Amino acid sequence: MPRQALPSRLGRQKMTAANAQLRDLGTPPRDAEQTELHPDLNRAHVRFINLGKTYDGAVHALQGIDLAIQHGEVFGIIGRSGAGKSSLIRTINRLEQPSSGRVLIDQVDIGEFDEDRLVALRRRIGMIFQHFNLMSAKTVWQNVELPLKVAGVPKLQREQKVRELLELVGLKDKHTAYPAQLSGGQKQRVGIARSLVHDPQILLCDEATSALDPETTQSILGLLREINQRLGLTIVLITHEMAVIRDICDRVVVLEHGRIVEQGPVWQVFGNPQHEVSKTLLAPLQHGLPDELQSRLQAEPSSTAAVVLRLQFTGSTADEPDLAALFSALGGRVRLLQGGVERIQGHALGQLLLAVNDSPHNAEALRNRAGHWAQQVEVLGYVV
């Protein structure tokens, strides 16, 4: 095996810093260890059993969905357009009627409900949307109050509830404003307050932050997490923004063509995705290649090219990666191009970008060697 080249002082500094970061990749903290890898079906808040949904007799929107969502968790549903996300979430409040299978809420089959029981069910399930659906001619107060008036709630009770909710969502000083006078984030806060008027146990979020800028999105996510923790609500959300899932969800399911292709705790799925669809969806969260490297990256090997590898580590790694030992195992001259660690649910997720000056035709062998140290290894290309 070729002897590893001694790193420069800058290289040693990079290695020291990266090793320090990667020490975080050992045993996960106690609270993260308690994340349920296999939810207890007998305690599920929402459970789907062999659920199917077909449109026009030919389009299979959902097929064989078996899934359990626990009390009080924030659960994400992701997938490409047309994967069945909206169809699935809308079966929870029976806005979509399944073609086959069952939906259970607290172990009760809601497919057996008559119209009166459906009305009661839907009051227990709040829903917020990408488009705020506010009535432009009504004030913030009136928009939040309207569902209570329709339900025949007495005036004093309505006033108390609206006042409490506007304070909860941070809009108590905007109660006389009209939607046209509000920002996008404020409009969504009104929508959230309105969804909570009947004290729901479940909150469904359909692309609730997709129309918002990044800063406002973080504000709304903070509010949703506060609601989840203070009120104990189960939150189920669908989004095309993977950063939203990473920042707020406890567990996630990945759909493709109406079927589940992967599911688990967010830290696990994001840290080591198994299915190609998951990898594609999560690719935007990868640290991009440095511009200087990207401009020189080649798809085909040459005799003088170095192999560029991306290694990913998760917090469940039993042994801390030792960069000196890793570099020695790879052989040749190894350059550390980039490295970093982020935390999801208390778990550290690390990434290294390496250039290895071995025979470029040994790329697969290098990938296999690195695989002894990392959960995921990619050959990104070749660089001279």
Higher pLDDT, 314 or 220: 220
Q: What is the mean pLDDT of residues 30-35?
A: 42
Q: What pLDDT, on the 0 to 100 scale, is given for residue 320?
A: 59
Name the least confident of 110-114, 152-156, 315-319, 370-374. Answer: 315-319
Whether the pTM exceeds 0.75: the reply is yes
pLDDT digit string, tens, across residues 155-193:
999 999 999 999 999 999 999 999 999 999 999 999 999
As given in the structure block, the two tokens for residue 360 are 């470029």
> Would you place residue 67 in the very low, low, confident or very high pLDDT band (cuts 50, 70, 90)?
very high
Q: Which class would CATH give 9-29+286-383?
A: alpha beta
Name the least confident of 38-42, 248-252, 360-364. Answer: 38-42
Q: 103: buried, middle or exposed (CB in 10 Å: 19+, 13-18, 0-12)?
A: buried
First to last CA, the chain: 22
Q: Is the pLDDT of residue 20 over 80?
A: no
Q: What pLDDT, on the 0 to 100 scale, is given for residue 287?
A: 66
Q: What pLDDT, on the 0 to 100 scale, is given for residue 25?
A: 42
Higher pLDDT, 175 or 332: 175
pLDDT digit string, tens, across residues 43-61:
789 999 999 999 987 889 9
SS3 letters across the chain: CCCCCCCCHHHHHHHHHHHHHHHHHCCCCHHHHCCCCCCCHHHEEEEEEEEEEEECCCEEEEEEEEEEEECCCEEEEEECCCCCHHHHHHCCCCCCCCCEEEEEECCEEHHHCCHHHHHHHHHCEEEEECCCCCCCCCCHHHHHHHHHHHCCCCHHHHHHHHHHHHHHCCCHHHCCCCHHHCCHHHHHHHHHHHHCCCCCCEEEEECCCCCCCHHHHHHHHHHHHHHHHHHCCEEEEECCCHHHHHHHCCEEEEEECCEEEEEEEHHHHHHCCCCHHHHHHHHHHCCCCCHHHHHHCECCCCCCCEEEEEEEECCCCCCCCCHHHHHHHHCCEEEEEEEEEEEECCEEEEEEEEEEECCHHHHHHHHHHHCCCCCEEEEEEEEC
Write down the domain spans for the chain: 9-29+286-383, 37-249
Report how far residue 221's alpha carbon sits from residue 110's, in angstroms, rounded to the nearest whole number. 29
> Would you place residue 333 in the very low, low, confident or very high pLDDT band (cuts 50, 70, 90)?
confident
Q: Is the pLDDT of residue 241 over 50?
A: yes
pLDDT digit string, tens, across residues 103-147:
999 999 999 899 999 999 998 999 998 888 899 999 999 999 999
* Fold topology of 37-249: Rossmann fold (3.40.50)
Q: What pLDDT, on the 0 to 100 scale, is given for residue 22?
A: 44
Looking at every residue in the chain, the average pLDDT score rounds to: 85
- For Cα atoms 65, 198, 108, give the angle at the middle one, nearest 5 degrees: 35
Higher pLDDT, 24 or 332: 332
